[in-house]
Amino acid sequence: MTTEILEAVSNARRRFLSAVLALFSLISVIGVVYPVGLFLWPHRKKVGGVAVRSIKISILEVPIGEAKFVRFLNKAAVIIHPNEQEVLALSAICTHLGCVVKWNGGKKELDCPCHGGRFDIRGNVLSGPPPAPLASYKARVEDEYIVIEEA
C-alpha cells in the first residue's frame, strides 16, 4: 500500500510540474511572438474625415523651414515650406507599411517611427525599408495661402 501512495504522490508531482512547465512555455512563446508581431504589423495612426480635393492653409501656419501635418484626400499629408519660393505637399504615409511619418526639423527630413525609413523634403527615400518615395501633391502659394491639390 505504501508503494501505491508513493506512486500517486509521484504522479501528482509530475502532473503539477508538467502544468507549471507548460505555463512557463506559453508565457515564453507569448513574450517572443508579441514583439515580433508588433514589428511586422505596427499600430498605425488612422486619419479620418471627409476627403477633399483641395485645401487652403494660411502661409503663416507653415513657417519657412518647417512642416505642418494636415488631412488631405482622407489621409495624412504634410506641407513643407523649405524656402521663400517653394512649398511642397506630400503624403505622410510611409510606403513601407503605412505608418505616419514624423517631421525631423533638425535634419529637415521625414522619419518613419515604425521601421526607421527616412525621406528627404521631396519625399525621396534616404534610407530604410521603404520601397518607393512618398506620394506628392500639387502645392502653390496663392495670395496669403498655400493651396494643395491632387497631382
pLDDT, tens only, 47-86: 455 556 888 999 899 999 999 999 988 899 999 999 888 9
For residue 50, the model assigns a pLDDT of: 52
**What would the CATH number be for the domain defined by 54-149?**
2.102.10.10
CA angle 68, 105, 77 (to 5 degrees): 30
Mean pLDDT of the 109-135 span = 93
- Under the banding of pLDDT at 50, 70 and 90, the label for residue 124 is very high
CB 103 within 8 A of CB 139: no
**In the chain, where do the E strands start and end?**
54-58, 66-72, 75-83, 86-91, 102-104, 109-111, 118-119, 125-127, 136-142, 145-149
Beta bridge pairs of residue 86: 83
Q: Is the pTM of this model over 0.75?
A: no
Question: What value does the mean pLDDT of the chain take?
Answer: 86
